[in-house]
């Protein structure tokens, strides 16, 4: 289950069950999943290859270097997304739940906040084609800037007005859907037919690295910023895509979509 989806399921169950019951519920789901996988028939085995983690990293680095030269718009999409996703994951997984829990002093409030965020995402997904008849690499970068700006505004609003915070968070979810759809669309449109699978693999490889580092980033910012971690992290999310946005005019000329 994707991290965003699993997180929303967890918060939804917290509203209905105790923490212990929620933990037990997801533990049972994991055990059932493992049992289901164990019942699958083994695939027909071919020539077995030795797993080489270093070779995978080297191939990924080589692919990124080639992509930077041969397909600058797609490189911008993947590079910008990797950096921004690192900060966004830090906020969504760690910092936002902790900040909401501290501010409202209620676990139920965390569930309501993430449900509101999910509602904005659903609405954004439904309305994406109405606002975006054509998707370009430049659009992805601009949407990341807007996403970060809205998240930063929500973090500031949390300190002054709860209703404004909720409104901004709904808009964050709305813009998040635009970002997600635009990323996938660009990878498809900017890749030749035989490169689509490889470029998707490269995108998820770099995105997973960003996700893995997100916890360390969140911890480091918390040590430095303390109670202002949410504001500082969302500000970093806002500034992360600015470099690509300043050079965005050079991306449209090479866009294949």
Question: Which tens digits make up the pLDDT trace of 157-206?
Answer: 998 999 999 999 999 999 999 999 999 999 888 888 787 888 888 888 88
**Rounded distance between C-alpha atoms, residue 104 and residue 166, angstroms:** 12
Average pLDDT estimate for 84-105: 90
pLDDT in tens, 231-247: 999 999 999 988 877 77
Look at residue 142 in the predicted model and tell me its pLDDT: 92
Distance (Å, whole) CA 67 – CA 104: 46
pLDDT reported for residue 52: 60
Identify the pLDDT of residue 250: 60
Tell me whether residue 196 is exposed, middle or buried, using C-beta atoms within 10 angstroms of its C-beta: 0 to 12, 13 to 18, 19 or more: middle
Q: What is the percent of the chain with per-residue pLDDT over 90, rounded to a whole number? A: 30
Name the token pair of 248. 């965005």
Residue 123 has pLDDT above 50, yes or no: yes
CB atoms within 10 A of CB 55: 10
Q: What is the mean pLDDT of the chain?
A: 82
Q: What confidence score (pLDDT) does residue 33 get?
A: 87
CA distance 100 to 115: 13
Residue 46 has pLDDT above 70, yes or no: no
CA distances from 241 to 69, 144, 164, 184, 217 (A): 20, 6, 25, 18, 17
Mean pLDDT, residues 99-112 taken together: 86
Residue 137: pLDDT above 70?
yes
Please check whether residue 151 is in contact with residue 238, taking contact to mean a CB–CB distance below 8 angstroms.
yes
Sign of CA dihedral 213, 216, 220, 222: positive
Report the range of poorest mean pLDDT among 14-23, 146-155, 199-208.
14-23
Has residue 5 got a pLDDT over 50?
A: no
DSSP 240: T
The pLDDT value given to residue 182? 92
Confidence at 3, pLDDT banded by 50, 70, 90:
very low
Instruction: Report pLDDT for 226.
Output: 83
Which structure tokens are listed for 256? 């294949």
pLDDT at 81 over 80: yes
Most distant CA pair in the chain, distance:
62
Question: 83-102 as b/e, with b when 16 or more CB fall inside 10 Å?
Answer: bbbbbbbbbbbbbbbebbee
Q: How confident is the model at residue 43 (pLDDT cuts 50, 70, 90)?
A: low
pLDDT level of residue 216 (50, 70, 90 thresholds): confident
In whole angstroms, how far apart are CA 28 and each of 9, 17, 32, 33, 123? 14, 15, 6, 9, 32
pLDDT for 256 beyond 80: no
């Amino acid at each position: 289950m994707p991290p965003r989806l699993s997180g929303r399921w967890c918060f939804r169950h917290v509203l209905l069950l105790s923490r212990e019951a929620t933990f037990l519920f997801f533990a049972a789901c994991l055990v059932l999943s493992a049992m289901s996988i164990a019942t699958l028939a083994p695939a027909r085995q071919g020539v077995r290859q030795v797993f080489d983690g270093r070779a995978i990293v080297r191939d990924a680095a080589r692919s990124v270097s080639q992509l930077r030269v041969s397909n600058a718009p797609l490189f911008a999409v993947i590079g910008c997304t990797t950096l921004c996703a690192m900060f966004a994951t830090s906020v969504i997984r760690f910092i936002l739940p902790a900040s909401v829990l501290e501010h409202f002093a209620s676990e139920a409030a965390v569930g309501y906040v993430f449900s509101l965020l999910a509602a904005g995402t659903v609405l954004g997904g439904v309305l994406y084609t109405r606002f975006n008849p054509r998707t370009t690499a430049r659009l992805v970068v601009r949407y990341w800037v807007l996403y970060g700006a809205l998240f930063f505004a929500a973090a500031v609003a949390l300190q002054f007005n709860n209703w404004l915070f909720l409104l901004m968070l709904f808009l964050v979810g709305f813009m998040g859907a635009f970002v997600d759809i635009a990323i996938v669309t660009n990878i498809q449109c900017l890749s030749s037919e035989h490169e689509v699978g490889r470029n998707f693999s490269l995108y998820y490889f770099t995105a997973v690295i960003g996700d893995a580092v997100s916890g360390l980033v969140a911890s480091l910012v918390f040590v430095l910023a303390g109670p202002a971690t949410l504001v500082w992290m969302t500000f970093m999310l806002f500034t992360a895509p600015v470099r690509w946005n300043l050079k965005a005019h050079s991306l449209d000329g090479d866009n294949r979509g």
